[in-house]
């Protein structure tokens, strides 16, 4: 029966992974950039929250109202000032620059906050759980995180599908030149995509900080999980990313039934298997004309 519980926990965990993944998916789909510092940005969001919570007297569960917009603006600026430069410079430069950014960010956090882990104290209000049956329980926090992921994904989906800017972002992802011919200022729209990516990953980081504790070097694991979710779900589909996240989550919890290390390893093995045999993922959507 613990297997069923592990399945349930894994599905809930999928929401968290999907939150990490959707920003990666957006930046990769629109501008062909994998931000290797993606996970570290999430961790930085937690540290910013740790600083802001006492200063602003906002309870931890609401701190995202401050942190997420800061990161959205920061993401836009970083894209236009740094990442665009490396995009203009060459194909492999961007990977190297975002890797450098990851190292700088991690060591900066290490210098400022030491290597001790941090978490966001959300109080006892949300630390209980539903009891569904003898062996299956659903923690309130996991449900909230999954809910937040669904809200974020839906909002992103609506933005992309219905809004004028979102539609042009999708057009840009399909064909940058023709989008320019239709009046797209691609540098600005890349900035918008990056801003959205940083905003969602900041939210993911805050969720992670409430769920467990983070330290300056926690970031890369979640970059890898996020990318894995994108690949497994298939590039171009936000809901595929959620499915990918859930596959990873289940692999993580089922693996942990064997032992904790295997719980960390199994998602990676699933990812490598998908890369080897079905690299386009489960629900690939990118179509070329």
d(CA 204, CA 148): 9
Nearest distance, CB of residue 239 and other proteins, angstroms? 14
286 is a site residue for other proteins (CB under 8 A): yes
Stretch (H or E) spanning 138? strand 137-139
Single out the segment in contact with other proteins by CB under 8 A; choices: 44-52, 124-132, 202-210, 221-229: 221-229
Which of 16, 60, 61 lies closest to 42 in space, CA to CA?
Answer: 16
Single out the segment in contact with other proteins by CB under 8 A; choices: 9-17, 80-88, 205-213, 246-254: 80-88
**253 contacts 157 by C-beta, under 8 angstroms:** no
Contacts with other proteins by CB under 8 A: the residue count is 64
Which of 59, 181, 37, 70 lies closest to 126 in space, CA to CA?
Answer: 59
16 is a site residue for other proteins (CB under 8 A): no
Please report which residue ranges of the chain form alpha helices under DSSP H: 2-31, 38-56, 64-78, 84-89, 93-113, 140-162, 164-174, 176-181, 186-211, 219-233, 238-258, 260-277
Interface residue with other proteins, options 3, 4, 51, 103 (CB under 8 A): 103
184 is a site residue for other proteins (CB under 8 A): yes
| Contacts with other proteins, residue ranges (CB under 8 A) | 28, 34, 36, 82, 85-86, 89-93, 95-97, 99-101, 103-104, 107-108, 110-111, 164, 167-168, 170-171, 173-175, 177-186, 220-221, 224, 227-228, 231, 236, 261-262, 264-265, 268-269, 271-272, 275-276, 279, 285-289
């Amino acid at each position: 029966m613990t297997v069923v519980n592990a399945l349930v926990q894994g599905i809930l965990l999928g929401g968290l992974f999907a939150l990490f993944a959707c920003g990666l998916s957006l930046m990769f789909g629109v501008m062909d950039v994998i931000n290797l510092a993606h996970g570290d940005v999430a961790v930085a969001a937690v540290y910013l929250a740790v600083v802001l919570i006492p200063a602003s007297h906002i309870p931890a569960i609401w701190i995202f109202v401050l942190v997420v917009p800061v990161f959205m603006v920061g993401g836009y600026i970083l894209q236009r000032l740094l990442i665009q430069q490396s995009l203009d410079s060459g194909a492999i430069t961007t990977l190297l620059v975002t890797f450098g950014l990851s190292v700088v960010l991690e060591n900066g956090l290490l210098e400022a906050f030491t290597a001790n882990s941090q978490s966001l104290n959300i109080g006892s209000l949300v630390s209980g759980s539903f009891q569904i049956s003898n062996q299956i329980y659903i923690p309130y926090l996991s449900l909230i995180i999954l809910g937040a992921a669904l809200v974020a994904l839906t909002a992103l989906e609506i933005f992309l599908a219905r809004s004028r800017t979102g539609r042009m972002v999708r057009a840009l992802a399909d064909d940058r030149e023709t989008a320019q011919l239709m009046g797209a200022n691609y540098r600005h729209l890349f900035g918008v995509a990056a801003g959205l990516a940083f905003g969602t990953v900041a939210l993911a980081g805050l969720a992670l900080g409430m769920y467990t504790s983070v330290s300056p070097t926690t970031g890369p694991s979640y970059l890898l999980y996020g990318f894995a979710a994108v690949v497994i779900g298939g590039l171009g589909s936000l809901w595929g990313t959620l499915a990918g996240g859930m596959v990873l989550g289940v692999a993580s919890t089922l693996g942990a039934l064997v032992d904790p290390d295997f719980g960390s390893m199994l998602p990676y093995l699933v990812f490598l298997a998908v890369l080897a045999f079905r690299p386009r993922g489960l629900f690939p959507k990118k179509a070329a004309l």
